Amino acid sequence: MLDLTSLKKAIHSLEETLKRSNDDKLMSQLDDVTRMAIKSGVIKNFEFTYELCWKFMQRWIKENGLSEEAEFPRTRKDLFRLAAKHSLIETAESWFEYGNARNLTSHTYDDEKAHEIYTVTFNFVNDAKYFLTQIELKND
User: What are the DSSP calls for 39-93, one per residue?
Assistant: HHHHHHHHHHHHHHHHHHHHHHHHHHS-HHHHT---SHHHHHHHHHHTTSSS-HH
List Cβ neighbours of 41 (8 Å cut-off, separation of 6 or more). Answer: 17, 21
Provide the total of helices (H) and of strands (E) in the chain, helices listed first.
7, 0
Mean pLDDT of 2-22: 96
Nearest to 47 by CA among 116, 121, 115, 97: 121
pLDDT value of residue 73: 63
Q: In the CATH hierarchy, which top-level class contains the domain 5-137?
A: mainly alpha
22-80 pLDDT, tens digit per residue, is: 999 999 999 999 998 999 999 999 999 999 999 999 899 888 876 666 666 678 899 99
Q: What are the residue ranges spanned by the domains of the chain?
A: 5-137
Instruction: Band the pLDDT of 103: cuts 50, 70, 90.
Output: confident
